[in-house]
Amino acid sequence: MTISEVRATTPVAVPGGEVGPPGPSLVRLPLVGTTAASTGTGTGTGTAVASTHRRSLGQGWQRLIGVAILLVVWEVVSLAGWVGPQELAAPTAVISAGAHLIADGQLGDALWASLQRVLWGLVVGVPLGAALALVAGLSRAGENLVDAPVQMLRFVPIIGLESLFVLWLGVGQTAKISMIALGVMFPVYINTFAAVRSIDPRYHELADVVGLGRWGRIRRIVLPATVPGFLVGLRMAMAVAWLLLVFAEQINASSGLGYLIVEAQTYFQSNVIVVCLACYAVLGLLTDVLVRRLEKLLLPWAPGR
Amino acid sequence: MTVLAVQPAPAIPADRAVVVRGLQRNFGTRRVLRGVDLEIYRGEFVALLGRSGSGKSTILRALAGLDRGGSGELYVPRRRAVVYQDPRLLPWARVVDNVVLGLDGPETASRGAKALSEVGLDGHERDWPKTLSGGEAQRVSLARALVSDPELLLLDEPFGALDALTRIRMHGLVRELCERHHPAVLLVTHDVDEAILLADRVLVLTDGRLSLDTPVTVGHPRTGADPAFSALRSRLLSELGVAEDGHAAR
Give the pLDDT confidence score for residue A34 in this predicted structure: 80
Mean pLDDT of B163-173: 92
pLDDT confidence of B20, banded at 50, 70, 90?
Answer: very high
Q: What are the CA-CA distances from residue B24 to residues A219, B18, B185, B207 (Å)?
A: 37, 16, 21, 12
Of A197, A192, A194, nearest to A128 (Cα)? A192
Q: Where does residue A9 rank: exposed (0-12), middle (13-18), buried (19+ CB within 10 A)? A: exposed
pLDDT in tens, A96-113: 888 888 888 888 888 898
Find all residues with CB under 8 Å of A301, minimum gap 6, and list them.
Answer: B91, B92, B93, B128, B129, B130
Highest mean pLDDT out of A31-40, A60-69, B148-157: B148-157
Over 50: is that where the pLDDT of B3 sits? no
Chain A closest CA to B244's CA: distance in Å? 36
Residue A93 has pLDDT above 60, yes or no: yes
Nearest CA in chain B to A217: B102
A305 CB-near residues (< 8 Å, 6+ apart) = A296, A299
Check A303 against B90: CB less than 8 A apart: no
Indicate which of A200, A209, A212 best probes the interface with B, i.e. most B CBs within 10 Å of its own CB: A209
Interface residues of chain B, partner chain A, Cβ below 8 Å: 1-3, 64-66, 80-82, 84, 86, 88, 90-93, 101-103, 128-130, 144, 148
Among the partner-chain residues A202, A205, A212, the one whose CB lies closest to the CB of B101 is: A212
Q: Please say whether the beta carbons of A156 and A149 come within 8 A.
A: no
pLDDT greater than 90 at residue A163? no
**Banded model confidence at residue A16, pLDDT cuts 50, 70, 90:** low
DSSP A218-269: IIIIIHHHHHHHHHHHHHHHHHHHHHHHHHHHHHS-SSSHHHHHHHHHHTT-
CATH class label, B16-79+153-239: alpha beta
Domain boundaries, chain B: 16-79+153-239, 94-149
DSSP 8-state code for residue B4 = S
- Is the per-residue pLDDT at B27 higher than 70? yes
Tell me what the mean pLDDT of segment A290-296 comes to.
91
Query: What's the confidence (pLDDT) of residue A37?
Result: 57
pLDDT at A73 over 90: no
Average pLDDT over residues B155-167: 92
Query: How far away is chain A from the Cα of B112, in angstroms, using its nearest Cα?
Result: 14
Strand order in the sheet with B16-27: B30-41, B16-27, B71-75
pLDDT of residue A15: 55
Query: What would the mean pLDDT of A205-234 be, rounded to a whole number?
Result: 93
Q: From its phi and psi, is residue B241 left (phi > 0), alpha (psi between -120 and 50) or beta? A: left
A82 or A42, greater pLDDT: A82
Across A45-49, A127-131, A300-304, least confident range: A45-49
| CB pair distance less than 8 Å for A202 and B88 | yes
User: Which residues in A lie closer than 8 A to residue B144 (C-beta atoms)?
Assistant: 210
- Distance (Å, rounded) from C-alpha A84 to C-alpha A101? 21
Please enumerate in sequence order all residues whose Cβ is within 8 A of that of A125, keeping only pairs 6 or more positions apart, or say none. Answer: A180, A181, A182, A183, A184, A185, A188, A237, A241
Q: What was the pLDDT predicted at B10? A: 62
Q: Burial of B211 by CB count in 10 Å (0-12 exposed, 13-18 middle, 19+ buried)?
A: middle
Which has more confidence, A35 or B5?
A: A35
pLDDT for position A110 = 87
Work out the percent of chain B whose per-residue pLDDT is above 70. 93
B100 CA to chain A: closest CA distance, Å? Answer: 9
Of A210, A212, A301, the CB nearest to B130: A301
Residues of B in contact with A203 (CB under 8 A): 88, 90
A contacts of B64 (beta carbons < 8 Å): 209
State the pLDDT confidence band at B36, using cuts at 50, 70 and 90.
Answer: very high
In this prediction, residue B214 has a pLDDT band, given cuts at 50, 70 and 90, of very high
In this complex, do B66 and A208 lie within 8 Å of one another by their Cβ atoms?
yes
Give the model confidence (pLDDT) of A112-156 as tens digits: 988 999 999 999 999 999 999 999 998 888 888 888 888 888 888
Q: What mean pLDDT comes out for the span B211-217?
A: 93
Please say if the pLDDT value at position A210 is more than 70.
yes
CA distance B39 to A217: 33
- Between CA B239 and CA B233 the distance in angstroms is 10
* Residue scoring higher pLDDT (A285 or B5): A285
Lowest pLDDT segment from A66-75, A108-117, B141-150, B204-213: A66-75
* Out of B1, B91, B130, closest to residue A211 by CB: B1
CA distance A284 to chain B (A): 29
CA B205 – CA B46 distance, rounded (Å):
13
For strands B45-50 and B184-189, give the pairing: parallel
Q: Kindly tell me the burial class for residue B177, based on how many C-beta atoms sit within 10 Å of its own C-beta (0-12, 13-18, 19 or more).
A: buried
Contact state of B91 with A205 under an 8 Å Cβ cutoff: no
Cβ atoms of A126 and A184 within 8 Å: the answer is yes
Lay out the sheet containing B45-50: strands in order across: B80-83, B152-156, B184-189, B45-50, B201-206, B209-215
> What is the structure's pLDDT at B80?
93
Helices (H), B65-133: 95-99, 108-118
As a whole number, the mean pLDDT across chain B is 90
Residue A173 pairs in a beta bridge with none
**Helices A106-138 and A223-251, axial angle in degrees (round to 10):** 140
* pLDDT value of position B8: 61
Residues of B in contact with A227 (CB under 8 A): 92
Neighboring chain A residues of B84 at a CB cutoff of 8 Å: 202
As a whole number, mean pLDDT of residues B41-53 equals: 93
**Alpha-carbon span A176 to A68, nearest angstrom:** 37
Residue B131 DSSP symbol: G
- Confidence category of residue A41, pLDDT binned at 50, 70, 90: very low
The residue among A2 and B161 whose pLDDT is bigger is: B161
Q: Which is more confidently placed, B93 or A47?
A: B93
Tell me, what's the ipTM?
Answer: 0.85
Q: Do B66 and A301 touch (CB under 8 A)?
A: no
pLDDT of residue B154: 97
**What secondary structure letter does DSSP report for B248?**
B
Distance CA(B144)–CA(B140), nearest Å, equals: 6
Q: Mean pLDDT across the stretch B167-194?
A: 93
Q: Pick from A202, A203, A212: which is nearest to B102 by CB?
A: A212
Is the model's pLDDT at B14 over the cut of 90?
no
Q: Where are the alpha helices (DSSP H) in chain B?
A: 56-64, 95-99, 108-118, 134-147, 164-181, 192-198, 227-239
**Residue B41 phi/psi, 5° resolution?**
-80, 160
Please tell me the least confidently modeled range out of A61-75, A282-296, B59-73: A61-75
